[in-house]
Amino acid sequence: MSTIEQNLQDVRAKIATAARNCARSPEEVILLAVSKTKPVTAIEEAIAAGQYAFGENYVQEGVDKIHYFANNANLEWHFIGPLQSNKSRLVAENFAWCHTVDRLKIAQRLSAQRPAAMPPLNVLIQVNISDEESKSGVALAGLPALADSLSELPNLNLRGLMAIPAVESDYQRQLAVFEQMHQAFLTLKARYPQMDTLSMGMTDDVAAAISAGSTLVRIGTAIFGSRA
């Protein structure tokens, strides 16, 4: 068995345990394999081990991989990196999901640039939940207004929220931040019932994220090893 295959088994087991520990079904949590900086051979190993959803942070690298795997229609590509306006077209034309929409201007560009032949782009609003100056994401206070404007755009499908909290090793403190996100998600979902995705949890905080209601965890290191 390859290392990546073994790692995927371990990560799936960890997700299942975390879900059962809080009386959730493991099927409620989608595993996004974050393959940024990793070669296509690593992605091929993950595909062979049953993985289909991949997350990329850098637009051009992600597009190159999408083109490389173009004949595999089962794969689902998520853009999860910071998005500059001048790169929005490549995201709109190539990815199925974008997790990092945090301002109306980017949302408008993605909607306008989404090709008519493709289904609407699935988008998540990134929330700056730890209120860090250096991080992208809309502040919680700005979330309702952004969601209202975004939901009017024809070629976007507002699927939920995403967050990258400040690094924190204490489980209880990780949990407290993720629970704030879950509350914001539920509040917004009451207005937009089609929202079904709460993207939170990475290699080092996945258990707390699942306990707080994450429906999609983004895991890189635990699957592909550390990055250079």
Ligand X SMILES: *Cc1c(COP(=O)(O)O)cnc(C)c1O
Nearest to 87 by CA among 107, 111, 59: 59
Binding mask 40-79 for ligand X (x = CB under 6 A): -----------------x----------------------
Residue 140 sits at φ, ψ, to 5 deg, of -50, -40
* 126 counts as binding ligand X under rule CB under 6 A: no
CA distance 60 to 73: 20
Nearest to 61 by CA among 102, 91, 31: 91
Choose which of 18, 164, 209, 212 interacts with ligand X (CB under 6 A).
164
Residue with Cβ nearer ligand X (36 or 89): 36
* 80 counts as binding ligand X under rule CB under 6 A: yes
Nearest to 123 by CA among 143, 145, 151, 149: 151
Residues binding ligand X: number (CB under 6 A): 13
CA distance 204 to 226: 12
Residue with Cβ nearer ligand X (93 or 204): 204
Residue with Cβ nearer ligand X (119 or 166): 166
* 175 counts as binding ligand X under rule CB under 6 A: no
Residue with Cβ nearer ligand X (163 or 188): 163
